[in-house]
């Protein structure tokens, strides 16, 4: 067992040379928890320690032999066999432990998706199972698999539990939108060696360690409408991350003080004649957070103004961060604007 662990560790270290290393500008550091959600990180200055950044909060979770199943369970979604077929499968020889029929697929993966692991051509159409899967054809019969890329991207970065099987564990990578079978810790380490991003100690410090945050920590938001023009989101006293915003201009300033989120609408209509996606109302509901507004023509308002106070009092967020904050907060979440 010790020899096996050493082999895996060596494999990870050598794989680091092909990884993308993360060295962001300081101004971008607080966006790392958002940018890296759903990714695996390899702490290159700490013996290649592996982490997973969860999609919901942007917290990092240590991945050890003892912890990885609990981390996966806490950050997983159940998925049916029919929905599993909508996601492209990763076919990679580096992930094979046993391949009885030499078709380029691990036996355990084949069992999980219901194809014959002792026959390289399960449907007898003269094309190997792995070739059909790579090209999105059904290895069990004629026709193509019902691949749905929009569905795939929506779940990317999550662990998935196969509820109609034996609880098989999968990981859907946001890097390549492919589904990876995770049979055990050794499988996970190989997947991390392929997909993981290298990160140094300084930059990983900008991503809060989940183990250091109390389970009773409440969500709260703070907004600096001064020169910094930034929104900060917290769990208790721990800042998780931040985004640039556009708050109210001098003639129509954003109100300052203590507020709460009073309502949420995926797409609100403004009296100025434009749409405000991912609306989060505050105060009496006359101002709030929202994504860069959209005119009926489809034109986006203020795409180049993030970080500059130009709005009519609302707090504008960019595409991506607005949706994240909308999903992250609940009605009643406290907001301090200063």
- In a domain? residue 72: yes
Backbone phi and psi for residue 105, each to the nearest 5 degrees, phi listed first: -125, 140
Q: Based on the domain organization, do 21 and 155 belong to the same domain?
A: yes
CA distance linking residue 28 with residue 22, whole number of Å: 11
- Label residue 25 by pLDDT band (50, 70, 90): low
Q: Based on the domain organization, do 200 and 219 belong to the same domain?
A: no
CA distance linking residue 130 with residue 177, whole number of Å: 18
Q: Based on the domain organization, do 218 and 299 belong to the same domain?
A: yes
Q: Based on the domain organization, do 66 and 178 belong to the same domain?
A: yes
Q: Based on the domain organization, do 158 and 61 belong to the same domain?
A: yes
Q: Based on the domain organization, do 26 and 155 belong to the same domain?
A: yes
Q: Based on the domain organization, do 153 and 277 belong to the same domain?
A: no
How many domains, the chain?
Answer: 2
CA distance linking residue 97 with residue 105, whole number of Å: 9
- In a domain? residue 194: yes
User: What pLDDT score was predicted for residue 24?
Assistant: 54
**Domain residue limits at 71:** 2-88+147-204
Where are the strands (E) in 12-96, listed by range? 21-22, 40-43, 49-53, 60-62, 76-79
> Residue range 42-52: average pLDDT?
95
Output the pTM of the full model: 0.89
Q: Based on the domain organization, do 43 and 153 belong to the same domain?
A: yes
- In a domain? residue 43: yes
Q: Based on the domain organization, do 19 and 43 belong to the same domain?
A: yes
Instruction: Using a pLDDT cut of 90, give the percent of the chain over it.
Output: 88
Residues 6+ apart with CB under 8 A from 10: none
DSSP per residue, 273-321: S-EEEEEEEETTTTEEEEESPB-TTSPBTTTT-TTS--BSSSEEE-TTH
Q: Mind listing the pLDDT tens digit for each residue in 165-223?
A: 889 999 999 999 999 999 999 999 999 999 999 999 999 999 999 999 998 999 999 99
Q: Based on the domain organization, do 332 and 276 belong to the same domain?
A: yes
CATH number reported for the structural domain that contains residue 218 in this entry: 2.40.440.10
Residues 6+ apart with CB under 8 A from 150: none
Q: Tell me 248's DSSP state.
A: B
Q: Based on the domain organization, do 287 and 310 belong to the same domain?
A: yes
Q: Based on the domain organization, do 200 and 220 belong to the same domain?
A: no
Listed residues 156, 177, 204: the one ending a domain: 204
Place of tokens 């960019």: 318
> Residue range 240-255: average pLDDT?
96
């Amino acid at each position: 067992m010790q020899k096996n662990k050493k082999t895996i560790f060596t494999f990870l270290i050598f794989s680091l040379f092909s990884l993308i290393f993360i060295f962001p500008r300081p101004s971008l550091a607080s966006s790392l928890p958002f940018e890296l959600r759903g990714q695996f990180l390899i702490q290159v200055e700490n013996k290649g320690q592996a982490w997973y950044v969860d999609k919901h909060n942007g917290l990092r979770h240590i991945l050890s032999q003892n912890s990885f199943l609990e981390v996966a369970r806490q950050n997983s979604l159940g998925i049916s066999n029919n929905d599993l077929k909508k996601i492209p499968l990763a076919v990679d020889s580096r992930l094979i432990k046993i391949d009885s029929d030499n078709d380029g697929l691990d036996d355990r993966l084949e069992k999980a998706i219901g194809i014959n692991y002792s026959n390289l051509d399960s449907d007898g159409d003269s094309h190997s199972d792995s070739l059909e899967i790579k090209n999105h054809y059904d290895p069990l019969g004629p026709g193509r698999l019902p691949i749905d890329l929009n569905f795939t991207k929506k779940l990317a970065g999550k662990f998935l539990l196969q509820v109609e099987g034996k609880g098989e564990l999968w990981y859907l990578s946001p890097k390549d939108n492919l589904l990876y079978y995770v049979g055990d810790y050794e499988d996970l380490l190989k997947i991390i060696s392929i997909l993981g991003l290298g990160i140094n100690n300084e930059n990983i410090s900008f991503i809060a360690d989940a183990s250091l945050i109390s389970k009773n920590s409440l969500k709260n938001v703070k907004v600096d409408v001064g020169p910094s023009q930034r929104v900060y989101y917290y769990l208790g006293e721990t800042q998780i991350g931040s985004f640039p915003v556009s708050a109210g201009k001098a003639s129509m300033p954003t109100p300052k003080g203590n507020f709460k989120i009073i309502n949420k609408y995926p797409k609100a209509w403004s009296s100025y004649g434009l749409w405000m996606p991912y609306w989060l109302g505050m105060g009496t509901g006359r101002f709030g957070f929202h994504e860069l507004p959209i005119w009926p023509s489809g034109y986006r308002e203020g795409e180049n103004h993030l970080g500059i106070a130009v709005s009519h009092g609302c707090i504008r967020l960019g595409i991506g961060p607005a949706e994240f904050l909308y999903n992250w907060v609940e009605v009643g979440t406290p907001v301090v604007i200063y």
